[in-house]
Structure 1
């Protein structure tokens, strides 16, 4: 299934990570720096579960 999530805030990113376990997910955000961090597999937030997903 293909899913789009709008907003890479804490809730949007957390939901994206959960949905990405079994689906193809695209996340959209208006902050280019946050999108660049996510694309380089780095978390824009200090959270051990989110950071563990990007490893």
Structure 2
């Protein structure tokens, strides 16, 4: 996703529609992600990575 806020918005909308969060969000400074299980039991991870903070 394009930002942490977008990740949070997607998760909020998903939770309003009945999904289950299976782990709390993780913030690794350069990468932020959250997870949920949809109504068909598929697990999803939604993430944002700030490429300017990645050290190659």
TM-score w.r.t. structure 2 length? 0.33
The structure richer in strand per residue is 2
The structure with the larger Rg is 2
The structure richer in helix per residue is 1
